[in-house]
Structure 1
């Protein structure tokens, strides 16, 4: 077990719900917190009778939702202008950023719920939703839905697996990271395809 995971377990063990809320909120903003790990550990604590299932699910969902909202508003405050400033570092030009914004406003909201399950990718959906000024009411509904499903999945997993929760969670996390990379590549390819179609339409 790495030092970070041990530290997270210590916080949950001593502070329980307050620790879970703060850690998940920070993790969703971008602080390096092993989110799936801490929720599975919370589920394990439930199986031992040290935490309550309903309360843990509620706190985890609220923490995740709060973090996603903070990320959204940070992205919205920075705006697309922020991307224009760092565009040279990312090898993006103004046309590419504008096209990405339009593409995300049209299709990106469908990725918010599923994005929760892929480390790193969920942060992208939150910040870019804000930057592209995706309708907040729609974003909030999707973010709340994703937070609830995500929390329920990993807390239930930790509760069911019992003493085996740690080993299975590490294996699952490894595959989710890989899945996130694959999902990001798929999204990028779809985006490139949409650009190509749009360019072909203009030429015709």
Structure 2
């Protein structure tokens, strides 16, 4: 177990629900915090009777939801103009940004719930939802559903795994991280296909 993980575990061990709420909120904004690791540890604590399962689940879902909402509003405040400023460094032009914004408004909201389960990808969906000004009511509903499903999955996993929670969580995290990269590539390919198809239909 690494030093950061030990520190975070100690933080939750001492501050319990408040600690979990703070860390998950920060993690969903983009602070490099091992979110799944924290939730499975908290789930393990419920199996020992140190934390209540129901309260832990509510706090985890709330922290995740708050973090995703803050990310949305940061993205909305920064907006597409901020993306235009950094576009040259990302090899993007205005046309590509406009196409990406249009594509995300049409299809991107479908990724918000599933995006929770892939490290790094969930941050992309939150910030770009705000940047593309996806309707907040729809976004918050999907973010809430995703937060609840994500929290139930990993807290229950930690409770069921017991003393083996740490080993399994590391394996699962590595698998999900790789899957997140694959998912990001697939999303990009679908975006390219949609853009090309749109050009063809305009020509015809």
TM-score of the pair, normalised by structure 1:
0.99
Aligned-partner Cα distance in 2 for 1:131–1:41: 33
Deviation string for 1:40-67 (max 9, x for gaps)?
0000000000000000000000000000
What residue is the counterpart of 2:198 in the other structure?
A: 198
Please name the residue that 1:70 is paired with: 70
Deviation of 1:24 (Å): 0.1
Distance 1:146 1:198 in 2: 31
Which residue of structure 2 lines up, in the alignment, with residue 11 of structure 1?
11
Deviation string, structure 1 residues 88-124 (Cα, Å, up to 9, x no partner): 0000000000000000000000000000000000000
Q: What is the CA-CA distance between 1:82 and the residue it aligns to?
A: 0.7
Counterpart Cα distance in 1 of 2:163 and 2:48: 10
Give the number of equivalent residue pairs: 204
User: What residue is the counterpart of 1:183 in the other structure?
Assistant: 183
Shift of 1:191: 0.2
RMSD value, Cα: 0.4
Q: Runs (4+) of structure 1 moved beyond 4 Å? A: none
In 2: Cα distance, 1:116 partner to 1:3 partner = 25
Q: CA deviation at 1:162?
A: 0.2
In structure 2, how many angstroms separate the alpha carbons of the residues matched to 1:194 and 1:81?
Answer: 23
The aligned runs of 1:1-204 (5 Å cut-off) are 1-204=1-204
- Cα distance in 1 for residues equivalent to 2:4 and 2:152: 23
Structure 1 CA distance, aligned partners of 2:6 and 2:151? 20
Shift of residue 203 of structure 1?
A: 1.8
In the TM superposition, residue 150 of structure 1 has moved relative to its aligned partner by 0.2
Q: Which runs of 5+ in 1 are unaligned?
A: none
Cα offset, 1:202, TM superposition: 1.9
- When normalised by structure 2's length, the TM-score is 0.99
